[in-house]
Amino acid sequence: MSDETGSCAIYPSLRGRSVFITGGGSGIGESLVRHFCAQGSRVAFVDMAVEPSRQLVAAVAAQGHPEPLFIPCDLRNVEALQAAVEQARDRNGPIQALCNNAGNDDRHQTADVSVAYWDDRMAVNLRHQFFAAQAVRPQMKALGGGSIINFGSITWMVGDPDCPAYVTAKAAVYGMTRALARELGPERIRVNCMVPGWVMT
């Protein structure tokens, strides 16, 4: 198979699988959307960037792949996220794979961080991952299992000096992943943390 994503392997188990991706309109998330659709998965994704996301839907459809469902959503609004999860289930069936990808590594210095900015960074980079996992869990449990992939970052491993709130949030993603893996594992729900390096998007 070859398309704008380049040649890629075929994974038959992904065909028809209901996948939910956060931050799917650009960067790593866009690539996730393109590749899951290329595998024949039923994809729903959320993003704040409306026009690029609509262009992505059109581009995927033009390649002959299943058209993904784009749901505009600000993930800082947990109720909107929960509603998006339900909308995705109604259209694509119970969610079998969750890619908690959305985040923003806005650069900042410690001296400039206010309480409001700190709380916003946690909402943008950490909080929604937990509540997305919470929202899909009943669906996955009913199916007999599923996969949750939380996207972390190498920044906390190397100690990036110019985004301490982001680094803190991404370090917390790793701890959250371990806790959820222990709790959800008996329900055959795998919870893993993907740690990308420096990706130019």
Active site residues: 166
- Residue 38 pLDDT: 97
43 sits in which H/E element: strand 42-47
**CA angle (184, 186, 188) in 5-degree steps:** 75
2 has a pLDDT exceeding 50 = no
- Residue 189 pLDDT: 98
Query: How confident is the model over 89-103, as a mean pLDDT?
Result: 98
pLDDT tens column, 4-19:
555 679 999 999 999 9
83 has a pLDDT exceeding 80 = yes
DSSP reduced 3-state for 108: coil
34 has a pLDDT exceeding 60 = yes
Of 104, 107, 199, 109, nearest to 154 by C-alpha is 199
- To the nearest whole percent, how much of the chain has pLDDT over 70? 96
- Residue 5 pLDDT: 52
- Residue 158 pLDDT: 87
Q: Which CATH topology does 11-194 take? A: Rossmann fold (3.40.50)
- Residue ranges per structural domain of the chain: 11-194
What is the band of 147 on the pLDDT scale with cuts at 50, 70, 90? Answer: very high
Contacts of the segment 64-67: beta carbons below 8 A, 24+ positions apart: 65/3, 65/37, 65/38, 65/40, 66/37, 66/40, 66/41, 66/42, 67/37
Task: From residue 160, give the alpha-carbon distance in Å to each of 12, 122, 157.
Answer: 39, 17, 8
